[in-house]
């Protein structure tokens, strides 16, 4: 690993103090009560972490992807729900604006996000269109200076508390499926015609709110469309590639958190008159967990540094590899941590049990790991 920069060292130091003070005492409670402490938006907004990637010229901290992932990893060691907030506005606001918004749109929205209090979500998935994004049915029909949106999105992270969403909707039926007919919009969640469904109860990351969003003749100004009409799908794929390492960062953090607990337990827990850490069977498990975490972390930061340096030639392939490798690793390591804690690891209310549930969704959202493997294999086979 390259040494930390002064900025990274200072940021991670103060972030650790915030995690110890604000997150660690409520990490279990957020999971058990399935409630999200909204004051954390203020906490992370004041640290510049909700808006980490907003460039300095728009009033943001302008953190690079590597530093953002380090911050996410650090928080995820204690709580995946807490880590969700780090960089929350990047995929749903900052990257779409930076990569295919107009300068006028950037000037309008980025300074607002840079203030730190804004929460945004990205709304792509529908009940019958997840991996198959091109199958989405939500429609945006042009009517004068507005589009009129009708449809439904599901599983939307932070929807119940979002101020804005980045919405993907069909704007025509012609052209190549998905590639030519999906557009992308910034939508104010206070717009008439939007309703939020009930809290969706998840297996893990229970403190994070998720919900359906319904659109009933919602008027969205043409000025809120980002990029060319019909080109939202390709843009969406590109920004998902750029953001995927942040999912991997949560995975590495969760695995490290579970590993640390497993090591402490292995030293402390006695069986047959010895610490269980004295048994080679347990030692080998711990060694494998450690190897996997270190390998995942190395791949993660190799990828983020390439992206930060503007080396995007293998972006899709690398982002998919990092997402798959780190999230599969987190599932395995958190499961092994539960194993090392034995029956105590299986009891609800135990940190490793929560971490194992939290890890599972990382293999599913932002493109399932099967879809990532398709991308990797297609490139290896020279299909595109």
Ligand X SMILES: Cc1cc2nc3c(=O)[nH]c(=O)nc-3n(C[C@H](O)[C@H](O)[C@H](O)COP(=O)(O)OP(=O)(O)OC[C@H]3O[C@@H](n4cnc5c(N)ncnc54)[C@H](O)[C@@H]3O)c2cc1C
Q: Which residues bind ligand X (CB under 6 A)?
A: 121-125, 130-132, 155-157, 202, 205, 210, 361, 364-368, 370-371, 374
Q: Which is nearer to ligand X, 282 or 321 (CB)?
A: 321
Per DSSP, 134 falls in state G
Determine the residue with CB nearest ligand X: 130
Q: Which is nearer to ligand X, 202 or 289 (CB)?
A: 202
Q: How far is the CB of 157 from ligand X (least distance, A)?
A: 3
> Residues 228, 182: contact at Cβ < 8 Å?
no
Structural element, H or E, at residue 212: strand 210-221
Q: Which is nearer to ligand X, 75 or 361 (CB)?
A: 361
Q: How far is the CB of 151 from ligand X (least distance, A)?
A: 13
Q: Can you name the residues that pair with 157 across neighbouring β-strands?
A: 210
Q: Which is nearer to ligand X, 87 or 121 (CB)?
A: 121
Tokens coding 190: 């206070």
> CA-CA distances (angstroms) from residue 360 to 90, 123, 206, 337?
22, 21, 12, 14
Q: Which is nearer to ligand X, 11 or 254 (CB)?
A: 254
Q: How far is the CB of 50 from ligand X (least distance, A)?
A: 15
Rg (CA), the chain: 21
Q: How far is the CB of 367 from ligand X (least distance, A)?
A: 6
Q: How far is the CB of 297 from ligand X (least distance, A)?
A: 24
Q: Which is nearer to ligand X, 67 or 316 (CB)?
A: 316
Q: Among residues 85, 116, 91, which one has the least CA distance to residue 22?
A: 85
| 3-state SS, residue 33 | helix
Q: How far is the CB of 124 from ligand X (least distance, A)?
A: 3
For residues 94 and 96, give the distance between their C-alpha atoms in angstroms, rounded to a whole number. Answer: 6
CB-based contacts of 166, cutoff 8 Å, min separation 6: 91, 92, 93, 96, 120, 121, 122, 123, 184, 185, 186, 187, 226
CB-based contacts of 110, cutoff 8 Å, min separation 6: 54, 55, 58, 59, 60, 94, 97
Q: How far is the CB of 183 from ligand X (least distance, A)?
A: 15
Q: How far is the CB of 365 from ligand X (least distance, A)?
A: 4
> Residues 71, 90: contact at Cβ < 8 Å?
no
Q: Which is nearer to ligand X, 138 or 292 (CB)?
A: 138
> Residues 218, 189: contact at Cβ < 8 Å?
no
Tell me the helix, strand and coil percentages in the chain, rounded to 5: 55, 15, 30
For residues 35 and 297, give the distance between their C-alpha atoms in angstroms, rounded to a whole number. Answer: 30
Q: Can you name the residues that pair with 184 across neighbouring β-strands?
A: 168, 226
User: Using CA atoms in the order 65, 262, 356, 315, what is the torsion angle rounded to 10 degrees?
Assistant: 30
Per DSSP, 116 falls in state S
Q: Which active-site residues does the annotation give? A: 366
For residues 116 and 106, give the distance between their C-alpha atoms in angstroms, rounded to a whole number. Answer: 16
Q: Which is nearer to ligand X, 51 or 138 (CB)?
A: 138
């Amino acid at each position: 690993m390259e040494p930390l920069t002064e900025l990274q060292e200072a940021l991670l130091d103060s972030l650790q103090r915030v995690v110890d003070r604000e997150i660690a005492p409520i990490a279990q409670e957020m999971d058990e009560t399935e409630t999200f402490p909204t004051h954390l938006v203020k906490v992370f907004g004041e640290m510049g972490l909700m808006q980490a990637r907003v460039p300095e010229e728009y009033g943001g901290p302008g953190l690079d992807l590597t530093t953002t992932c380090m911050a996410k990893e650090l928080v995820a060691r204690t709580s995946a729900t807490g880590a969700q907030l780090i960089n929350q506005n990047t995929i749903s606001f900052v990257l779409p604006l930076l990569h295919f918004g107009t300068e006028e749109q950037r000037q309008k929205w980025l300074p607002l996000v840079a203030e730190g209090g804004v929460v945004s979500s990205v709304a792509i998935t529908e009940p019958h269109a997840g991996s198959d994004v091109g199958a989405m049915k939500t429609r945006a029909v042009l009517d004068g200076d507005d589009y009129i949106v009708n449809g439904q999105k599901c599983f939307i992270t932070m929807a119940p508390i979002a101020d804005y969403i980045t919405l993907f909707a069909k704007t025509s039926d012609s052209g190549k499926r998905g590639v030519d007919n999906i557009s992308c919009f910034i939508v104010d969640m206070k717009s008439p015609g939007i309703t939020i469904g009930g809290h969706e109860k998840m297996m893990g990351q229970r403190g994070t709110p998720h919900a359906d969003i319904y659109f009933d003749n919602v008027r969205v100004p043409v000025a809120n469309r980002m990029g060319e009409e019909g080109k939202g799908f390709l843009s969406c794929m590109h920004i998902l590639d750029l953001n995927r390492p942040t999912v991997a960062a949560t995975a590495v953090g969760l695995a490290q958190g579970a590993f640390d607990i497993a090591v402490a337990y292995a030293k402390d827990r006695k069986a047959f008159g010895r610490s269980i850490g004295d048994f080679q069977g347990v030692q080998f498990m711990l060694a494998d967990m450690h190897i996997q975490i270190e390998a995942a972390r190395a791949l993660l930061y190799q990828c983020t540094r390439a992206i930060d340096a503007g080396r995007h030639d293998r972006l899709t392939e690398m982002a998919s590899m990092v997402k798959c490798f780190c999230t599969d690793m987190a599932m395995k390591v958190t499961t092994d941590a539960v194993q090392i804690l034995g029956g105590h690891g299986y009891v609800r209310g135990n940190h490793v049990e929560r971490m194992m549930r939290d890890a599972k969704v990382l293999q599913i959202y932002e493109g399932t790991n099967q879809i990532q493997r398709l991308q990797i294999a297609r490139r290896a086979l020279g299909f595109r």
